[in-house]
Structure 1
Amino acid sequence: MLELAEELARWSAQGRDFAVATVAGVRGSAPRPLGAALAVAADGTAAGSVSGGCVEGAVYELCREALTSGRPVLERFGYSAEDAFAVGLTCGGELDVLVAPADPVTTVAVRAAADGASVALVRALTGPPGLLGRALLVTQDGTYEGGLGGGAALDATAAREARALLHAGRNGLVEVGADGARCGETVRLLVECRVPPPRMLVFGAIDFAAALVRAGKFLGHHVTVCDARPVFATRARFPEADEVVADWPHRYLERQELDARTVVCVLTHDAKFDIPLLERALRLPIAYVGAMGSRRTHAARLARLREAGLTDAELARLHSPIGLDLGARTAEETALSIAAEIVAVRHGASGAPLTTGTMPIHRDARSLARR
């Protein structure tokens, strides 16, 4: 639901009633991830998608029914061999879809998310009667409003679980005891998180950086270009960047509040900039650190970083030479290879051709925590 926050906030401001179908479980190969949503307004207007087309018609009708009945439902859609193009996922996977009319808690959640706040929306998928679709809104500091209908202990436990996912910036499924404890009857919860875009810090205002800025924006990052040379670090050279900063890279990095989703790309291949920057970046709990340069440059860089005191474990986090082996020549091809490596690292994938692999194309999106 929160992926449609801006649109739903507009509908809410206009006083329009609506229902939302949200992907609440994925098994096997499915085209849309946990949290993907299709919203339907009372006038029939639709926004979003839960399946890329396979089951949209059936889900649309469920939303219309929910608007009439006022009751949430949880439906499962899977591959239909008899009529694969009617109601079924032709890719062979299964989706659980929670369909619910908007309520006061979800309305506050979409408005907060649309305003740029970091929020988590928790909704019950299983448990005692009456819990399905009940919602809890959790903020980054752990405060919450609404309720799952199972009592204060359940709400407090759900809020703690949601806050952990919120700090990681990802959606997930969790299972907790119906009384808030981790025993006896359980409740399965869908947790949707909306956080600011992940950051990409590009150090080195060179031509390759302009192409990487475009790739980073395409992937949904908030992109900053930083270079110690003011003549190169200009808005005119990088109009698509969110920020352009003239400062020594390591000093700029030290002032930033970064999270586990942050990506650092070092394109300077100049030791006086690279070494103090990488010395700090490789000790931060961030998602990716890559550095441009030849294999000879990389070997010399590793030697200097070891002299600076970095451990083998810290150096193992460095992706250098940066990018996947695509045979890239141009700035755009190089940016593509770097972006591809960032995506592969994020998902723990190999980056190998799909034709040579045996793993499912779409990884199992379930993050059900069994505790």
Structure 2
Amino acid sequence: MREIASRLEAWSRAGVRYALATVIGAVGSAPRRPGAAMAVSEDGEAVGSVSGGCVEGAVYELCREVLRTGSAVRESFGYSDDTAFAVGLTCGGTIEVFVQPAPPAQVVEAVSASSPVAVAHVLDGSGATFVILPDGHHGSSGTAAVDTAVVAEARAMLDGGATGIRSVRRRPGLEVFIASYATRPRLLVFGAIDYAGPVVRLGRFLGYRVTVCDARPVFATPARFPDADEVVVDWPHRYLASTEIDSRTAVVILTHDAKFDLPLLEVALRLPVGYVGAMGSRRTHAERLERLREAGLTDAELARLHSPIGLDLGARTPEETAVAIIAEIVAGRRGGGALPLGRTSGPIHHDYAADGRGA
């Protein structure tokens, strides 16, 4: 929806009614992916696209129907469907479209301003819509337990920049489509060593935008890290000080070399990132802390450092070590205690603790 948000905002300001069609599922060679949107105003103007042209006419008519009835519609178009074939979806894929009346104005405003926001549509015909912002949410399905589950799932998806359909655990058979308008969180891996490869692969698997940075051009190459979104040759502390970060950013330091680690940690521990971890032995960690104190870092800043990096899994190989590192990052993001679930009590999904019921 981001590409048409400015037009939708203009319609909202002018009091123009419109219907919004969003791709909520796509299989095979479908031309547009979940989150692609098309809108039709009450005077017949259309903006955006859900299929690159092949089913636009049918979706246009669905939007007109929703404008007439005020009720949301969910429809699939696939190559094997006679109706879909008739309207021209000849690419061999399948798309599922959700058409609804105009979403709340704050959704369009947030998307237009490139602010992080998630929109959750309950797919039961009720038209229940949630707006999830980093510091709050709006909307309700009328059932507190369902609201808790939807908001928790949407917040997690917003945190990861993900879009898709999810089942609502509290009501079997109920689905919700969640569209996130946020960039992917960043994973910054410093040190182009053997351990970095598995960390990069796991980070990308979890939805991070992964960067590998090292000052040594012979090691920092795209060929060595094909799963990284980018590979940067630069002094780590200089790169970190100049790159874009936020509270979801994870900094993983694998260089294990004081000339790289110490300047980098001086920068990292003073930035509002979500995680800072550094590889090294307990002796190395103690020596780092002493040097960093001499450099002027406070006890509060030093307490943010996860070192030796990772959870105690007994890891030996680079792949096992990567699992330990990524698991520590996930535990920090989700508030997990990193204990076996069999040794804990209460809700398995921490987000659901608010209503006092297990997931």
Q: 3-state SS of the aligned residue for 2:327?
A: helix
The yes-or-no answer on 1:237 pairing with 2:227 is no
- The share of aligned pairs that are identical, in percent, is 54
- Match of residue 205 from structure 1: 192
The structural deviation recorded for 1:359 is 2.9
Residue of structure 1 in register with 2:310 after alignment: 323
1:251 is displaced (CA, Å) by 0.4
Aligned to 1:214: 201
Instruction: Name the counterpart of 1:195.
Output: 182
Report whether the alignment pairs 1:297 with 2:284: yes
User: For each residue in 1:175-217, what CA deviation from the matched residue of structure 2 results, as whole angstroms up to 9, or x when unmatched?
Assistant: xxxxxxxxxxxxxxx9964211100000000000011100111
Aligned to 2:75: 41
Structure 1: gaps of 5 or more residues? 20-38, 46-99, 126-130, 141-147, 149-164, 172-189
Whether 2:236 is the aligned partner of 1:249: answer yes
Structure 2 contact 187–252 (Cα < 8 Å) conserved: yes
After superposition, give the CA deviation of every residue in 1:1-40 in whole Å (9 maximum; x if it has no partner): 8986923527833335489xxxxxxxxxxxxxxxxxxx94
Aligned partner of 2:292: which letter?
L
Equivalent residue, structure 1, for 2:329: 342
Write the distance in 2 (CA, Å) between the matches of 1:3 and 1:272: 49
For normalisation by structure 1, the TM-score amounts to 0.56
Instruction: Tell me, in whole angstroms, the C-alpha distance in 1 between the residues paired with 2:101 and 2:231.
Output: 40
Residue 319 (structure 1) shift:
0.3
- Does the CA-based 8 Å contact 2:35-2:179 persist in structure 1? no
Counterpart residue identity of residue 218, structure 1: F
1:122 offset after TM fit, Å? 5.3
Return the letter of the residue paired with 1:120. V
Spell out, residue by residue over 1:271-293, the C-alpha distance to the aligned partner (whole angstroms, 9 max, x if none). Answer: 11011101110111111000000
Q: Deviations over 1:206-236 (max 9, x none)?
A: 0000111001111110000000111111111
In the TM superposition, residue 119 of structure 1 has moved relative to its aligned partner by: 5.2
Q: 1:234/1:124 Cα in 2 relative to 1: closer, same or farther (>3 Å)? A: closer
Would you say how many aligned residue pairs link Structure 1 and Structure 2? 247
SS at match of 2:244: coil
Q: Following the alignment from structure 1 to structure 2, what is the Cα–Cα distance between the partners of residues 105 and 135?
A: 13
The residue type equivalent to 2:222 in the other structure is R
CA contact (8 A) 1:169 1:194 kept: no
Question: RMSD of the alignment, in Å?
Answer: 4.3
The residue that corresponds to 1:24 in the other structure is: none
In the other structure, the counterpart of 1:159 is none
**SS of corresponding position for 2:289:** helix
SS at match of 1:103: strand
